[in-house]
Structure 1
């Protein structure tokens, strides 16, 4: 049986191609690899000649992957990601265990950080790094062990395990409630100052979706304050600026401490759920298994299939 070397083109050209495909630019790939743009072009052209077909369509000031190029790009990204993970794993064997966790700003601030001390006490030898950002990280390409995400559970870069759905209802500060009173019903929310949090995620439940679940439309005039981040919307509610939508799992501590008050018995179940997503790797760090057991226990998470509903 012949070795891989005879079956594969130049590994240099494949690595250069992967960078160009990922960056969608010969120039950006050259900067990443520390070579010239002309060298990237030569490597890609040589690879195309070796394979006997085009990998890119050269457009005016841009490049575009062909169908075959896209297929090769996906395989190269996955293969290089696995190699990088393995190299890091065997390199880090002599170093203290480190667990890198990615989470959204809201989940990190309102749930993960308030609860992580329990995990740290049970696992004192694990060094934690929490990467907080709302944009999704790619587990195949980035140095992340575990990601906590809200969505439908279908992500190509890892194995998703459901943690929980959530319930959403209006909340405000005790001061706002004392000054303005509680709404008598859902329709009565129209006379209150509503605080919104914007999201590019279509599955996110904002005021428009929440009110429509009860047969009401959201009048933009009622939203007197809009924030880019959910954390900012909750802080505005804490300061008495109006009524925000509280995600029960995220604001439960604030409700328990009576810093926020629930002002309506009506609630809406989230469209999707929170998941813990594990990087696909030849062998997971022991710390990953410990974290998975801990967070599933804390949230009563399970591997049950999520049953989608309108909300």
Structure 2
């Protein structure tokens, strides 16, 4: 065994000791580490036996660091802090004046990009890093500070900061609408149209079947279909005149404003809880994170 292996105390004993030294309580250390008080006490005794010194004085039903205990707690705290910092660096953790926003590709591309200058103008000192996810937040194992995703997707243990509403309605290109008889479309005439579908797991809260069901209509028999695994690709297919897509106001509004898309029907469905904004589980309060969350809340209002 190398010298490091011979010199190091049992590694399993170090976290229970560090937590007890920092919190000044065996019971609180046990709660933080999600183990029993007996297990914490057993590991501390094992560490004391390995080192041959007492690390705590036990009096008045409490624990108090000895001189040796204070020395070890200081050294161990610094070592664990450096290890945590290096691990955070490798994971891509944001540093001071940096913040990481995790979002679905469609929100990032269609909603966030046109608004980024507003964040930079309000917070020129903060560097914003944007990361995208395809799967639900609960399945994401990378680093982020704040995340945005569809509310019907599992967010796991990450706490919800707030949610935002959205409107859902069919969209198509002006050219596609002009090709219809009289340049007009009704829901009853969908059977002669091509319906563009966004297929993802889990499904969005509203697709053609659920949207039509909200208006008392089934999927029309005879309608052609084109399916995409990307919402952005589906919208581009609608812009290119390939059919009717199910559009969400927040992500389609730019194309609607530029005249690339039109909404041929008056019918819409409002979702009060369409988009969820979450904070990373266990995250300490950071000024940068709070600034980003406040900006998102204002923009999504």
Q: Same fold (TM over 0.5)?
A: yes
Partner in structure 2 of residue 122 of structure 1: 122
Partner in structure 1 of residue 151 of structure 2: 151
Partner in structure 1 of residue 294 of structure 2: 293
Q: CA deviation at 1:89?
A: 10
- Given that residues 102 and 130 in structure 1 are in contact (C-alpha distance below 8 angstroms), is that contact kept between their aligned partners in structure 2? yes
Distance in 2 between residues matched to 1:193 and 1:153, nearest whole Å: 28
1:74-125 residue CA offsets vs partner (Å, 9 max, x unmatched): xxxxxxxxx9999349988995522111111111111111112210121112
Distance in 2 between residues matched to 1:126 and 1:220, nearest whole Å: 53
Partner in structure 1 of residue 102 of structure 2: 102
The alignment partner of 1:116 has SS state of helix
- Given that residues 176 and 241 in structure 2 are in contact (C-alpha distance below 8 angstroms), is that contact kept between their aligned partners in structure 1? yes
Alignment: residue pair count: 227
Distance in 2 between residues matched to 1:211 and 1:94, nearest whole Å: 43
Distance in 2 between residues matched to 1:118 and 1:106, nearest whole Å: 19
The alignment partner of 2:202 has SS state of coil
In structure 1, the gaps of 5 or more residues are 1-8, 15-49, 51-82, 301-311
Distance in 2 between residues matched to 1:220 and 1:110, nearest whole Å: 32
Distance in 2 between residues matched to 1:11 and 1:223, nearest whole Å: 62
Q: CA deviation at 1:216?
A: 1.8
Is 1:254 the counterpart of 2:258 in the alignment? no
Is 1:216 the counterpart of 2:213 in the alignment? no
Partner in structure 1 of residue 51 of structure 2: none
1:195-224 residue CA offsets vs partner (Å, 9 max, x unmatched): 111122245311111112222211474243
1:37-75 residue CA offsets vs partner (Å, 9 max, x unmatched): xxxxxxxxxxxxx9xxxxxxxxxxxxxxxxxxxxxxxxx
Distance in 2 between residues matched to 1:261 and 1:119, nearest whole Å: 29
- Given that residues 137 and 149 in structure 2 are in contact (C-alpha distance below 8 angstroms), is that contact kept between their aligned partners in structure 1? no
Partner in structure 2 of residue 244 of structure 1: 245
**Greater CA drift, 120-129 or 150-159:** 150-159
Distance in 2 between residues matched to 1:91 and 1:228, nearest whole Å: 33
Is 1:177 the counterpart of 2:177 in the alignment? yes
**Cα distance change of structure 1 residues 203 and 178 upon mapping to structure 2, 3 Å threshold:** closer
Distance in 2 between residues matched to 1:223 and 1:94, nearest whole Å: 47
Q: CA deviation at 1:234?
A: 0.3
The equivalences for 1:58-97 within 5 A come to 87-88=84-85, 96-97=96-97
- Given that residues 138 and 154 in structure 2 are in contact (C-alpha distance below 8 angstroms), is that contact kept between their aligned partners in structure 1? no
**Cα distance change of structure 1 residues 221 and 84 upon mapping to structure 2, 3 Å threshold:** farther
**Cα distance change of structure 1 residues 86 and 257 upon mapping to structure 2, 3 Å threshold:** farther
- Given that residues 139 and 158 in structure 1 are in contact (C-alpha distance below 8 angstroms), is that contact kept between their aligned partners in structure 2? no
The alignment partner of 2:209 has SS state of helix
Distance in 1 between residues matched to 2:209 and 2:284, nearest whole Å: 44
Partner in structure 2 of residue 39 of structure 1: none
